[in-house]
Structure 1
Amino acid sequence: MADSNNGTVKVRLVKGLRGTQARHRLSVKALGLNKLNDVRELKDSPQVRGLITQLHYLVRVEE
């Protein structure tokens, strides 16, 4: 899942936020994702992995 070279992970927002819990919308914002298909390259940390796990139905981890 993570790029072992530099310790980062790419996250893409693949589903819209309409109808989701307010906490999940805040978590998506914390990842730096704003619009559908936004991609962010984030440092691979336990905190980021926790957010990705919480939002498994909204985001996709890319290689």
Structure 2
Amino acid sequence: MVNIAPEIFNNMAKIKVTQVKSAIDRPERQKLTLKALGLNKMHATREVEATPQILGMIRKVTHLVKVEEA
């Protein structure tokens, strides 16, 4: 589970999402989730708003990404 402080969620702050593991040999749904987050290569980083939708996507691929405050 992604541990994101409640104040980040309340302020709709930006978070940095970095892909740290490959999408090779992963279910298609996880590959599509990474694509929706804008992550297409290893070590790709995107800065996104901490919306409920984004946090839900991150939760589904938490084993493939690293999350930090922006």
Q: TM-score if structure 1 supplies the norm length?
A: 0.89
Give the 5 Å matches for 1:8-27: 8-27=14-33
Residues 1:51 and 2:57 are matched in the alignment: yes
Structure 2's unaligned 5+ residue stretches are: none
- Give unmatched runs, 5+ long, in structure 1: none
**Higher helix proportion (structure 1 or 2):** 2
CA-based RMSD: 1.8
| Aligned residue pairs, count | 63
Give the secondary-structure state (helix, strand or coil) at the position aligned to 1:16: coil
What's the CA shift for 1:62? 1.9
Among 35, 38, 49, the alignment partner of 2:41 is 35
Q: TM-score, normalised by structure 2?
A: 0.80
